[in-house]
Structure 1
Amino acid sequence: MQNRFKSWALWTSIAALVVFVVKEFANIDISPTVNGLLDVLLPVLVAFGIVNNPTDKENF
């Protein structure tokens, strides 16, 4: 479990999840271009952190 907490992918996905939730529920007014980019990028980062296995150095 310690390896997972040291993983940069885990912390990136947690940060992306926090930004995504705040963006959706805080009703922050941002440009449509940035909003579209965040709608694509943030879920991908969250998914990357979920499927990442830091205990296996050879595979994803």
Structure 2
Amino acid sequence: MTQNRFKSWALWLAVASLVVFCVKEFLKVDISETVNGLLNVLLPVLVAFGIVNNPTSANTL
């Protein structure tokens, strides 16, 4: 079952989103206000999607 989780694109998307969000917040990366607002909404949603995703079922997300 663990191998299925590591093959899941949603897991890797969530991990990448979490890394980008942490880098943006803790290192105070300077980006435009519009992009910053978009990332503040989009990145936590992608992380949550990766958490609730079920990689053991090919038919459902």
Same fold (TM over 0.5): yes
Q: Which residue of 1 aligns with 2:15?
A: 14
Stretches of structure 1 lacking an aligned partner (at least 5 in a row): none
Stretches of structure 2 lacking an aligned partner (at least 5 in a row): none
Q: CA deviation at 1:56?
A: 1.6
C-alpha RMSD of matched pairs (Å)? 0.8
Q: Give me the TM-score of the superposition, normalised by structure 2.
A: 0.93
Percent identity of the aligned residues? Answer: 73
Q: Which residue of 2 aligns with 1:38?
A: 39
Letter in 1 for 2:57: D
